[in-house]
Amino acid sequence: MTRFIDIDSVGKLIEQVGIDLFLKQLEDELIANFKQWPDFEKSARLASHSEIGVIELMPVSNDQLYGFKYVNGHPSNTARGLSTVMAFGALAEVETGYPLLLSELTLSTALRTAATSVMAARALARADSRSMAMIGCGAQSEFQAIAFHQLLGIDQLHIHDIDRQAMAKLQRNLAAYPQLKVSAFDSAAETVRGVDIVSTITADKTWATILTDEMVEPGMHINAIGGDCPGKTELQAEVLHRGKIFVEYEPQTRIEGDIQQLAMDYPVTELWQVLNGQASGRDDDRQITIFDSVGFALEDFSVLNYLYRLSLEHGIGQEIDLTPQLDDPKDLFALTRNKSHQHRAA
Ligand code: NAD
């Protein structure tokens, strides 16, 4: 039997565990897996592009488990009442190929992206960081805000979106966190002035320049989330030239990240190397650090593993017959015999 976790079950698990602890445990899972980076078989995700969006498959495995995610990115979807990003995924046993888990990953992608952003900021941002600007107040934004507030101690949040309703929604949803002071601004430039961390989480299938050179101040950490497809960027190229750049998996980020604007040999550091002490992170307090995030399969593998354990522990989720259970594995044809029909004939 394969475990099945739907949206409702993830919601229940978050309710039982509490979103703050959920994000913390997920960050721990991510750190543990990123530290094991060389043990994983990795590849850049397989993307199928259309004029208005992309559909991607993201596999990764170690010697025990294989995971993959199906995910789309369609910035124009929200105008149709659909999400920009939707996902599901699976976890399987390498030894037999048996699928252990089939899970929703839309909600879980937002959670793993927020936990990954915090993991990167913990390693790269100035340790005294307390304020963050967030440009883009869509589906990902609450998760990022809560993760940075609860796990990293951010207590001042400046927000901006071209959609005022999205800003109001974010403020409403963050009202449950009275220690987090949220201020809304009319322009991106005002939003980022004087903050320690800047998160860009916009969706537009275009060469956007959400953050320009003159907006970036010494010592800032930039958490760039929304530039994650060929021809879809958020940072002006000059910003990239001013900072030290960190990526998830370099072969994928060269194609999809903001660094697609740079020469292919422009130096970048993979985050896992900083996490396990093989490379330096921030060199001094005035350095600008940039996490050019596109989302990597190991992050989904981590959330799938975490969900699988939680689901069994809390008895939330269900077992489904995704693959056959046969008395004789060579007699697959037996499944074509309609049991109720046989019963009637008998
Ligand atoms: P969403 O469509 O729900 O929200 C995006 C928001 O950006 C919208 O509210 C929109 O009004 C705003 N926006 C667009 N252009 C803007 C601009 N010029 N200035 C200010 N605001 C602007 O999308 P989402 O699910 O929140 O995802 C946001 C982005 O993050 C997408 O591009 C998505 O592909 C990306 N993403 C990346 C990762 C990762 O791992 N790096 C994971 C999930 C999503």
Q: pLDDT per residue over 214-231, tens digit each?
A: 999 999 999 999 999 999
Active-site residue identified among 228, 258, 292, 300:
228
Q: How many Å apart are CA 126 and CA 60, to the nearest integer?
A: 32
Rounded distance from Cα 312 to ligand 1 centre (Å) = 33
Q: What percentage of residues in the chain have a pLDDT greater than 70?
A: 97
**Topology of domain 2-107+298-324, per CATH?**
ornithine cyclodeaminase, domain 1 (3.30.1780)
75 in helix, strand or coil?
Answer: helix
User: Closest Cα to atom 20, ligand 1: which residue?
Assistant: 161
Q: Looking at the predicted structure, is the pLDDT value of residue 342 above 80?
A: no
User: Closest Cα to atom 7, ligand 1: which residue?
Assistant: 202
Rounded distance from Cα 142 to ligand 1 centre (Å) = 12
Q: Do 2-107+298-324 and 125-296 agree at the fold level?
A: no
Q: Looking at the predicted structure, is the pLDDT value of residue 283 above 50?
A: yes
Chain-centroid distance of CA 92 in Å reads 21
Q: Looking at the predicted structure, is the pLDDT value of residue 339 above 80?
A: no
pLDDT score at 206:
86
**Residue 119, CA distances (Å) to 78, 100, 116, 171, 231 in order:** 29, 27, 5, 24, 27
Work out the burial of residue 317: count CB atoms within 10 Å of its CB; fewer than 13 is exposed, 13-18 middle, 19 or more buried. buried
**Residue 346: band (very low, low, confident or very high) from pLDDT cuts 50, 70, 90:** very low
Please report the DSSP string for 102-151 in residue order: EEE-HHHHHHHHHHHHHHHHHHHS-TT--EEEEE--STTHHHHHHHHHHH
Can you name the residues that pair with 316 across neighbouring β-strands? none
User: Closest Cα to atom 29, ligand 1: which residue?
Assistant: 226
Q: Looking at the predicted structure, is the pLDDT value of residue 345 above 80?
A: no
Mean pLDDT of the chain: 96
Q: How many Å apart are CA 136 and CA 166, to the nearest integer?
A: 8
pTM of the model: 0.96
pLDDT score at 177:
97
Q: Give tens-digit pLDDT for 226-274.
A: 999 999 999 999 999 999 999 999 999 999 999 999 999 999 999 999 9
**Residue 280: band (very low, low, confident or very high) from pLDDT cuts 50, 70, 90:** very high
Q: Where are the domains of the chain?
A: 2-107+298-324, 125-296
User: What superfamily would CATH give domain 125-296?
Assistant: NAD(P)-binding Rossmann-like Domain (3.40.50.720)
User: Closest Cα to atom 18, ligand 1: which residue?
Assistant: 210
Q: Find the mean pLDDT for residues 147-167.
A: 98
Q: What percentage of residues in the chain have a pLDDT greater than 90?
A: 96
Chain-centroid distance of CA 61 in Å reads 18
Residues touching ligand 1 (Cβ under 6 Å) are 73, 75, 78, 84-85, 109, 113, 135-140, 160-163, 166, 201-204, 208, 210, 225-226, 228, 293-295
Is 284 designated active site? Answer: no
